[in-house]
Amino acid sequence: MSNPMMKKASRWFLILLALLLAARILFGVFSRFLKPMPYSQTIQEGLLFLGILIVLAVLYTRPWVKNWEIQRMVQFAAGLVPAWWIAFWIFNSSRNLLPFPSQFFALQGVFQLCVMLAVLFSAVWLLAVLKELIFIQRGKFTSGCFLLLLTGLCVLILYEWIWGQKNIWQEGGWTYTYGMSFGRNAFFTLFVAVSICNGFRNKWIHYLRKRQKWEILFMTFASGVATFPLIERLPGEMRPLSVTVSVFVYGLLVFWMIYTAAAFLTVLLHLPTAGLMDRRMREMSSLQELSTAIGSVFDVRDLIRKTVGLALQVVDADFSWIELRKGPGFELGGSEGALLEDIRAIPEQAVVRLRDLALRSDSSVLIPHVSRDRETAVFRKWSRKAGALLAARLQYKNKNLGILYAASEKPFGFMDDHRGIFRAFANQAAMALENASLVEASLEKERYREELRLAHEAQMRLLPRSLPLVPGLQLQGLCLTANDIGGDFYDLIVPDQDRIDMVIGDVSGKGASAAFNMAELKGVIQGLARHFKEPRDIVLEINRFIRSQFEPDEFVTMIYATYHPSTRQMRFVRAGHTPVAWIRKDDLVWLESAGLGLGLAENEVVEKQLENQVCRLSPGDTLVFFTDGLIEARNRADEEFGEERLTELLNRNRGLGAADCLSRIEEEVAAFTQGTPRHDDITLVVLTLDENRSKEKAS
Amino acid sequence: MSGVEVRRKDLQEVTVIYLKGYLDAHTAPEFEKALQELVDQNRVNIVVNLAELNYISSAGLGVFMGFIEDIRKKGGDIKIAEMADKVFRVFDLLGFPVLYEIFKDESEAIGQYR
């Protein structure tokens, strides 16, 4: 009772009851000594009536019983009946259950009053519960009808109060006589009519399970039988205490009796279709469960398991299985109720026949009696008994994903109305399957992307963090990675004081594997640089390593150069890599010696191809090493940057230092591509010989 | 960037594969599939016609390398024909002409198997 109004009302009700109780106690204690007070009774009745009126008003306007299950409500109502029997025995004047010793007679009155109030309280609760039941799936007139019932109760009380009783003072107390009269009968008949109107408002029965219906049937029967003798007796016994409460309880018992009887009849009428109703409910809940699964189960295996499981429920089948399309044929996806081996044992002929029917049908295919069907009679040869069969294709838009089957062991286990629901179920399942496979594909993509990200990270970490400082030599390196795939790397090694090795390369392969290969190579090169002097020897060793460690379709292009500052001699080999631009004072030379990518052939072949190139650099000369990503950079019109553009660019920008040269190339390529995503890494290493230093030397 | 189109023409002894478009890491699996199919069917006298190929990346070149050993072991070969200059430049830089026979003309390449 969270409602503040409710709280207020119940508080007032309790205060009222406390006042009544106090009055009654005083009245009871002093009644022996005081003169009879004929109006005290009237005041008490008036207060009680007012209390009931308030409670009924609250009951009508506010929800009282919240979130109770139907079953619990009926149990509660039926449970009140035995409680009232106990109350009856307490009031029973002839066979009092709890006789008070005569000296405490006055106290007995107080006790009985308490019990009466408890009965009143429980009666109000019964009414609240009945209201909830009546209001389930309320119609247009439900509210009005119920109001009429409450009004009827009040009218009954008022009538009884004003005209129905004769208070006669006899020695020691009031006695009441009441007899039949036309008015009384007329009002009572009207009340019964209104009660019947309300009594058949029991839509809640429709939604009960078969088992619950049986329970309700039993409960209504038992409580009806138990209530009937109570109707006249309990109010009769309470009448001396309070006419108001007595009539209220009387009216309510009559209504409860009628409601019980109506519920009993309704359940009885619903019992034959209860199984069917149950099935419909199961169908609905299975469909609903499947649509929930669409949103939550993205694993195709899980989903298949769920689908065959729910298929059993949806058509009340004994076993079900699913076939998924695989290429031109079908593959058994999963089964429930029967082992996969059992399903595989179905004669091929029969499966093909059924599959054909299912694929051709827009609805689902029903074979009510396998043995009588000429086409599928082969099923009889199968070890598992199949009486009736259902099959529906799993179709999503124009795509067939497979076929769903269900079988019942009983002939005529499926009827025509199973077809529709099976079709609907298959459609849902198809949607779920399609959904799951799409999600799986996108997860795969996501994993790939993540792998690429890690590969990039690894690649960046493999690049030299700082370039060695060599007097008289400017060195600049840059690696712009592609969003997608790349295997570029470069490294600068200083094996001894008069030698600096420069290596630039491109590892073929994708994502993580390229990054791994690169990491391996870096280590290998670092080691080889310290053991061998000649680039050619180093490269041949690298080739040997790649041939033994990499996959056949993986290879590396590379330029390995060693520079000796003392002699200004640069020796290098080109292993299938893009040529090197040598920018001199007056011209630009492309150094493109013969060579072969590493990993493409055995050392004997590579050895013959590799040409050692030696050049003596002059002060101010610049060497530009790069990877094919630079000349293959594309603009929006899908044109490549190309060697010509690069040559022109380098010619235009001669005489810049290494850093400026590198940033100029970077700028111009960026201006050319205009933000078109890179499809390959671009790596650049620029080396410039200082002019100053040589001048100093010369002077 | 668009994909690659792989077409196949079966002659008596020789199979010609036509590649059109861009052969890079994304599209290489299609070419791989076509070659795998040929190896499976034991049709190992292969000519790859690259007349309509616009671009080949290292991953695309890798496909040739991945199969050549197998194919040569089976007594076949991959011969390359009708490359555009730009594509030939890539092959040439890498040193492929040492490893593969490259022909200007498809029929010339086919003729090598007879």
Spans of all domains in chain A:
4-271, 297-441, 463-698
Residues in chain A: 699
Cβ-Cβ contacts under 8 Å, B63 against chain A: 553
- Percentage of residues in chain A with pLDDT exceeding 90? 21
Confidence of residue A37 (pLDDT cuts 50, 70, 90): very low
Q: Which residue of B has its CA nearest to A601?
A: B99
Q: Which residue of B has its CA nearest to A677?
A: B1
Q: Are A563 and A612 in contact (CB under 8 A)?
A: no
Q: According to the model, what pLDDT value does residue B57 have?
A: 85
CA torsion A599-A605-A608-A610 (nearest 10°) is -10
Distances (CA, A) of B10 to A550, A660, B40, B45, B100: 33, 55, 14, 10, 21
Q: What is the CATH number of the domain that holds B66?
A: 3.30.750.24
Mutate to test the interface with A, among B4, B23, B58, B96 (most CBs of A within 10 A): B58
Please state the CATH superfamily assignment of the domain spanning residues A463-698 in this structure: PPM-type phosphatase domain (3.60.40.10)
Residue B112 counted as domain residue: no
- 3-state secondary structure (DSSP) of residue B26: coil
Tell if the CB–CB gap between B62 and A508 is shorter than 8 Å: yes
Tell if the CB–CB gap between B93 and A577 is shorter than 8 Å: yes
ipTM: 0.90
DSSP string, A519-573: HHHHHHHHHHHHH-S-HHHHHHHHHHHHHHHS-TT--EEEEEEEEETTTTEEEEE
Cβ-Cβ contacts under 8 Å, B90 against chain A: 628
Interface of B with A (CB under 8 A): 1, 24-26, 55, 57-59, 61-63, 65-67, 69, 86, 90, 93-96, 98-99
Q: According to the model, what pLDDT value does residue A696 have?
A: 46
Tell if the CB–CB gap between A601 and B98 is shorter than 8 Å: yes
Residue B109 counted as domain residue: no
Q: Is the pLDDT of residue A699 over 50?
A: no
Comparison of pLDDT for A373 and A675, the residue scoring more? A675
| Identity of the residue in A552, A595, A640 whose CB atom sits nearest the CB atom of B65 | A552
Q: According to the model, what pLDDT value does residue A383 have?
A: 59
Q: Which residue of B has its CA nearest to A642?
A: B86
Express each pLDDT in A148-167 by its tens digit.
898 888 888 877 776 655 55
Cβ-Cβ contacts under 8 Å, B96 against chain A: 597, 600
| Identity of the residue in B67, B69, B98 whose CB atom sits nearest the CB atom of A605 | B98
Comparison of pLDDT for A590 and A692, the residue scoring more? A590
Residue B111 counted as domain residue: no
Nearest CA distance, A509 vs chain B (angstrom) = 6
- Percentage of residues in chain A with pLDDT exceeding 70? 85
Q: Is the pLDDT of residue A35 over 70?
A: no
Axis crossing angle, helix A300-315 with helix A417-462, rounded to the nearest 10: 170
Q: Are A77 and A130 in contact (CB under 8 A)?
A: yes
Q: Is the pLDDT of residue A56 over 50?
A: yes
- Residue B96: domain span: 4-85+92-104
Cβ-Cβ contacts under 8 Å, A628 against chain B: 58, 90, 93
Tell if the CB–CB gap between A597 and B95 is shorter than 8 Å: yes
Q: In sequence order, which residues have a C-beta less than 8 Å from that of residue A29 and are 6 or more positions away?
A: A106
CATH number for the domain whose boundaries are A297-441: 3.30.450.40
Tally of domains in chain B: 1
Q: Are A196 and A257 in contact (CB under 8 A)?
A: no
Q: According to the model, what pLDDT value does residue A669 have?
A: 92
Mutate to test the interface with A, among B94, B96, B99 (most CBs of A within 10 A): B94
Tell if the CB–CB gap between B94 and A576 is shorter than 8 Å: yes
Q: According to the model, what pLDDT value does residue A677 have?
A: 83
Cβ-Cβ contacts under 8 Å, A597 against chain B: 61, 94-96
Across chain A, what does the average pLDDT equal?
Answer: 82
Q: According to the model, what pLDDT value does residue A375 have?
A: 66
Express each pLDDT in A557-605 by its tens digit.
999 999 999 999 999 999 999 999 999 988 999 999 999 999 999 999 9
Mean pLDDT, to the nearest integer, of B34-48?
92
Tell if the CB–CB gap between B94 and A596 is shorter than 8 Å: yes
For residue A619 the two structure tokens come to: 């002060």
Residue B14 counted as domain residue: yes
Express each pLDDT in A115-152 by its tens digit.
888 888 888 888 888 888 888 888 888 888 898 898 88
Express each pLDDT in A670-682 by its tens digit.
999 988 888 888 9
Q: In sequence order, which residues have a C-beta less than 8 Å from that of residue B68 and are 6 or more positions away?
A: B77, B78, B99, B100
Same topology between domain A297-441 and domain A463-698: no
| Identity of the residue in A553, A576, A579 whose CB atom sits nearest the CB atom of B95 | A576
Mutate to test the interface with B, among A445, A488, A507, A508 (most CBs of B within 10 A): A508
Cβ-Cβ contacts under 8 Å, B87 against chain A: none
Nearest to A478 by CA among A660, A672, A677, A679: A660
A vs B, Cβ pairs < 8 A, gives 73
Q: Which residue of B has its CA nearest to A575?
A: B94
